[in-house]
Chains A and B, each alone.
Chain A
Amino acid sequence: MTNTNVRILVVDDEPPIRKLLRVGLGSQGYAVSEAPNAKAAIELMEQEKPDLVLLDLGLPGMSGHELLRKWRDDGLDIPVVILSSRTDEAGIVNALELGADDYVTKPFGMNELVARIRVALRHKFQQQGEKPVFQSGDLSVDLVKRIVKVEGKEIKLSPKEYDILRILVQHAGKVLTHHFILKQIWGDSTDVQYLRVYVRQLRQKIEKTPDQPRYITTETGVGYRLRVD
C-alpha cells in the first residue's frame, strides 16, 4: 500500500510540532493538513475528509477530548492517534475510552509515530476482511479454528486466556485499555487485577521470558498491546 493517497490531519497548537510532522510525514508520502485549534480542525475535517487524525490533547479553547467526543458523537469513525505528554496517563486512558485508536507520548520518535499510524490505518482498511490467522514471530493464532501455536507447538489455553488473546489479536498493534478488555470479556463488573492475573498466565504460556514479554507488552497505567512485527 502506498501512502500517497492517505491524508493525515494534524491538530496541534505548537507550530514547531506541526512543522516537524509536515516534514516527517511528508517524507513518508502522506499528505498532511494542519489545524492549530479545534475550530480549524472541524472545518478541515469537512473540507478534506482526511483518513487519520493526529490529535494533541492540550488544545487552546475546545480541548482535544471535547473535539474527539464531538467527532465520535457525530458518527465519524476515522482513526485518531493521540499526541500526549508522558505524565498524563489518565488523559490518555480517557481519550482511548472516547474512541481514540492509539497514542504516542511527546517527545516521540518519528519511526514510532509512523508505526502507530500504520497500525491505525490497517485496522481501518481491514475491518471488513479479518485475516483468519495472525502471525507474529513464533506466535500464531488461528481465530477460526481457535488454535494457538508457539514455535509450531500447540498451546493449551483456558477459555478466558483465549478470549483475551483473541481480543488482542483482533486489535493487534493497538493499545487496549484495561477497561476495554474487561468489558469485552466480563462485562463491566470485574476488577482490573483479574485481568492482570490472566495476562500473567497467558504470558507464562506464550512468552519465552514472561518478565520481559515480547508479544503482550504492558503500557503502564494504560493497558496492554499485542506487538506485531
Chain B
Amino acid sequence: MPEDRSNENRPSPDALLEHAEREGRGRLRIFLGAAPGVGKTYEMLMSGRARLADGIDVVIGVVETHGRQETQALVEGYEVIPRRKVDYKGRMLDEMDIDAILARRPALVLVDELAHTNAPGSRHPKRYLDVQEILTQGIDVYTTLNVQHVESLNDVVAQITKVRVRETVPDSIIDQADDVEIIDLTPDDLIKRLEEGKVYFPNTAQRAIENYFSPGNLTALRELALRRTAQRVDEQLLNHMQSHAIQGPWAAGERVLVCLDARLGGAARIRYARRLADRLRAPWTALHVDSPRSASMPEEDKDRLANNLRLAQQLGAEVTTIPGQNVAQDIVRYATANNFTHIVVGRPTRSRWRELIEGSLTYDLIRNAGDISVHVISGNERNSEATSRNVRTADEQTQFQIWPYLLATAYVAGSLAFAVLLDQFLDVRNLAIIFLIGVLASAVTGGLWPALYACLASALAFNYFFLEPRYTLTIRDPESIVALGVFLVVAVIASNLTVRVQRQAIAARSRARATEDIYLFSKKLAGAGTLDDVLWATAFQIASMLKLRVVLLLPEDGTITVKAGYPPDDTLAEADIAAARWAWEHNRAAGRGADTLPGAKRLYLPLRTGRTAIGVVGLDNDKQGPLLTPEQQRLLDALADQAAVAIERIQLVADVDRAKLAAEADRLRSALLTSISHDLKTPLAAIMGAAGTLREFAPALPEQDRAELLTTVLDESERLNRFIANLLDMTKIESGAMEPNFAFHYVGDIVGSALQRAKKIIAEHKTEIDIPADLPMLKVDPVLFEQALFNLLDNAAKYAPAGSTIRVQGWTDNGSVILQIMDEGLGIPPGDLERIFDTFYRVRKRDQVRAGTGLGLSICRGFIEAMGGTITAANRTDRSGAVFTIKMPKPTNPPDLGAACADDNDVGDLGCG
C-alpha cells in the first residue's frame, strides 16, 4: 500500500507540535547525579564557564558550594545575583531572587538544587517552579538534581537507602528538559572523595559513609540515575524519530507489544507480556489487527477476543486496534513505527497443511520482525479460558426473507431486457457481462445467497435466450460451454467479494457508531457530579443503545436495591430480587436467559471494575427469547465497564468526603474539650480560691473583702451554671434529641420572661423594648425561644459597654415575624458575621477574648432553626453595634379565639373580637 507508507513517512503532528511549543522557551539542562558529592555543581559551573568563554551572558542564580574548595574556586569570575533574605519565624533564610534574575535577563542562569523547597511566603513553594517561570521568559537554565528527588523514584530510593526524601521534583520536569547530563562517578571514587573530606566535613563524612553512602546503596542509586537518563534519552529518541520520520526500531528503551486475536491462550500471552514489561520497566501495548476475517468469526471467538482486550486494559496495557489485511505485516509495521523491541505472540495452532496453504502468522512474524525479539508463548488455559458467559444470546442469523430473491430476480430480468436490446450490436459472449451487473446488484442489496441465486438465474437465462440453439437449455457450441462456465465462476467470485466488502463496511460503520456512542457516554459520565446523574445516564444509555428496559441496583445496608431505572421502575418481583442478589453475590449473570434463576423477569449482570464489584444491572424487553446478540453483549460490557468505573469514582469521592468530615469532627471534638476544660475550670478556680480564703482567713479579713469574696463565689457559680446549661442545650441540639414543644405564644410574653431571667446580667445596661401589642402569636417552644433570647441578651451585655442601651424590637413583615436585638458595642467584624454562629467561635475584642463559652449563639441558631425560623447577624447602620435578627414564620392557622371569648360578655379590646 504505497499510500499508507507515504503517510507513515511524514513527521508525526504531535511531535512537531511539541517541538513548536518549545520554541521561544529557554532551554533547560539538568545535571543529574546519583548521590550528593558526585560533582554536579562542579560540572554545572564548568559548563557555564565554557559558555562564558563563548561570550554568552551567564549569571549564577543560586549555587551552594557547601564549603567545597574546588567548587568555591569555580564561582570566581561569575556574576552572582544576590540572594533575597526571607524572615521565617525569626530565622533569616537566603532564597534565590527570581525577580532580580528576570529583571537582569541573562542568556543563561545557573540554578543549583532544583528540588529545593522555598521558604514559606515565596512566590513559588518549590524552586523548580521558579525555574519554569524563568524558562518561559526565554532564559536558559542549567540546574542540578539528585536522582532521589525524582518523584517516581522516591519510593524506590527510600527502599534502598531507608531515608525518605521529602523534596521531590515531578518527572515531567525531566521530560521537559532539553538536555539531561548525567554526572557519573563510581561508588569507590565517591567514597574516596568523601574520605578525603571533599564532600562533607570529616566527622560528618564518616557517619555518612556508614549509613547512606554504602557501596551497595551507591551502586543502586547509580543504576537508577543511569536508567532514568536512558529512559529520558529514549523519549527524546522517539520524538526525534517521529519528527524526522525515521523508521525504527532503534535500540533504545524497551517496549513490549502483545498481539491478541481470538485464539485460546490470549490470557497467558497478556500475563507474559505484563511480566516482561515489568521486568524491563517498559511500557506495553496490546494490539489487535482487525482483519476482514474478524467479522465472520464465531461469536465465541469474538467474546474471547473482547475479554482478552479487557484483561489487557485492566493489567495496564495500552490497547490498540488497527485495521489490516496481512496480519503479520501489519503487526511488524506497527511495531517498527512505534519502536517496539519485543513482540509477544501465541504458538501456531493451525495444522501443518493449513499452514502450507494459508501461511503461518507466527513464522511470518518471525521472518519479518528484523531486530525485534519475538516471544512465542504457548497458552494451555483451555479450561479456565473457555468463555465465561453463562447467558444464552440471540442468534444473529436473520430469518429467511423472500424479498432479496424477488429483487435479484428483478435485477436478472432487467439485465435480460438490456441484453435483448443490445443483442444485435454485440457478440453474444459479451452479453454475459451485462448479466454480471445484475448479479453484483443482487449481492449489494441482498447478500450472498440472493447473489448466488442471481448467478444461477443469469446463467440459465443467458443460456436460454442467447446461446445457440436459442430458447432451449441445450448448448451446441463447446466454446459457449466454456464461456458459460467462465461466466459462472466470475459471477460467483465477484458476488462473493462484493458481499464481503459490503459486510466489512457495515461492520465498520456500526463499530464506528458504537465507539462514538461509548465515547459520548464516557464524556457524559465524566461530567456527572452525583451518583444519581451517573446512574441515570447509564440506565438511559444502555436502554437507548440496546433498546431494552434497564434497572440499576447498588448494594445498600447489606442487601442490593434498585437505584435507577429507564424507564423508571423500582418494583422487583421476588424471583427478580433473588436473581439480582445471586448475580451480586456470585459476580455472575443470573435471571432470564442465564443458567441461574432463569425464571426471573429480567437478566441481571454484575457491574465491576478492576478493583471490585460495584452493583448489578437488570435488563428486559417485551420480546420472547434471548435478550442480547453477542455483539450487543460486548457493547453492554463496554458500557457497563464505563459505568462501573464512574460509579466507583463517585463512591471514592464520597469516601474521601466522609473521611474529611470525620477528621473535621475530630478537630471539633478536641476544640470542644479544650474549651470546656478551660471554661469549667476558670470559674471553679475562682470559687475554690474565694471559699478557701474565707475559711482560712475570714477573721483577719475586713468585712468589705469578705463580702467581695462571697460575691465572687456567687457570680462565678452563676457563670458556671450558665455554661453548664449551654453545654446541655448544645448536647440536646447535636444529639438531635430536641423535640420542640410547640404552642402559640405572644412574643412579648417570652421577651418579658427572658428579660426577667437576664435581669442580673443586663443590670448595668438600659433596655428599650418595642414589641407592638398586635404582633401575632407565634407557634414556638417557649422554653427554647426564651433561651435563645436570653443568650442574645447575654451576648449583648457581654460585648456592649455598661450604660449603653440594648434594644429589642419586633414587627411583622410579609408573612414573617421579625425580632431584633440590637446593642451599642463595637459590632461584629464583617468577616465573622457568619462564623459567630459556629460552635466555640468567639469574636476577639481587641486584645482579649471576652469571658464566654462560644456556645451561646450557636445554641441560638440551633434552637431558632429547630422551630422553623432563621437568625442572622449584622452590624447596625445607624451607629456602631451588632444587630441579631430572628425571623419566624407567621403561623398559617392562628388559634381561633372566638370560642374562648364567646362566654366572656365584657369582651376586652384585645384578642377577642
Contacts and interface: CB of A to CB of B under 8 A. Distances in A.
A201 B911 CA distance: 8
A99 interface: no
B721 interface: yes
Interface stretch (B36-44, B419-427, B769-777, B834-842): B769-777
B895 A200 contact: no
Interface stretch (A63-71, A74-82, A145-153, A190-198): A190-198
A217 B744 contact: no
Interface stretch (A34-42, A46-54, A125-133, A205-213): A205-213
A194 B908 CA distance: 13
Interface stretch (A8-16, A23-31, A114-122, A157-165): A157-165
Given A200-B910, A220-B783, A212 B725 contact: no
Contacts of B907: 158
Contacts of A137: none
A140 interface: no
A217 B905 CA distance: 26
A161 B900 CA distance: 12
B743 A220 contact: no
A221 interface: yes
A94 interface: no
Contacts of A196: 744-746, 749, 777
B818 interface: no
B748 interface: yes
> Which of A159, A194, A209 neighbours the largest number of chain B CB atoms within 10 Å of its CB?
A194
A212 B782 contact: no
B721 A192 contact: no
B537 interface: no
Contact of B752 (A107, A198, A201, A218): A218
B749 A200 contact: yes
Contact of A212 (B728, B743, B745, B769): B769
A193 to B, nearest CB: 4
A103 B594 CA distance: 75
B349 interface: no
B753 A156 contact: no
Interface string B751-788: 11101100000000000010101000100001100100
**Number of chain B interface residues as a range:** 35 or more
A72 interface: no
Nearest to A204: B910
B765 to A, nearest CB: 14
B895 A201 contact: no
A216 B907 CA distance: 20
A87 interface: yes
B755 A212 contact: yes
B742 to A, nearest CB: 11
A218 B749 contact: yes
A158 B906 CA distance: 5
A86 interface: yes
Contacts of A142: none
A211 B748 contact: yes
A160 B728 contact: no
B912 interface: yes
Contacts of A87: 725, 728
B795 interface: no
B748 A197 contact: no
A163 to B, nearest CB: 9
B53 to A, nearest CB: 88
A158 B904 contact: yes
Contact of B769 (A161, A211, A217): A211
Given A87-B728, A160-B904, A192-B743, A211 B912 contact: no
Contacts of B752: 210-213, 218
Nearest to B894: A193
A210 B748 contact: yes
B727 to A, nearest CB: 11
Nearest to A200: B746
Contacts of B909: 201
Contacts of B750: 218, 220
Given A196-B746, A212-B755, A220-B750, A89 B911 contact: no
B176 interface: no
Given A107-B717, A159-B904, A193-B895, A200 B911 contact: yes
A210 B725 CA distance: 28
B743 A193 contact: yes
Contacts of A156: 906
A161 B907 CA distance: 10
> Which of A191, A199, A205 neighbours the largest number of chain B CB atoms within 10 Å of its CB?
A191
B777 A193 contact: yes
A191 B752 CA distance: 22
> Which of B717, B753, B909 neighbours the largest number of chain A CB atoms within 10 Å of its CB?
B753
B361 to A, nearest CB: 85
A191 B908 contact: no
Nearest to B787: A220
Contacts of B908: 158, 161, 201, 204-205
B906 A159 contact: yes
B897 interface: yes
A212 B750 CA distance: 10
A211 B903 CA distance: 27
Interface in B857-913: 895, 897, 899-900, 903-912
Contacts of B745: 193, 196
Nearest to A205: B908
B753 A218 contact: yes
Contacts of A201: 908-911
A86 B724 CA distance: 11
Interface in A170-205: 190-194, 196-201, 204-205
A22 B94 CA distance: 74
> Which of A191, A205, A211 neighbours the largest number of chain B CB atoms within 10 Å of its CB?
A211
Contacts of B903: 160
6 contacts: A193-B744, A196-B777, A200-B748, A201-B910, A218-B750, A220-B783
Closest 9 CB pairs of A and B: A194-B900, A158-B906, A197-B911, A193-B744, A160-B904, A201-B908, A218-B753, A211-B748, A221-B783
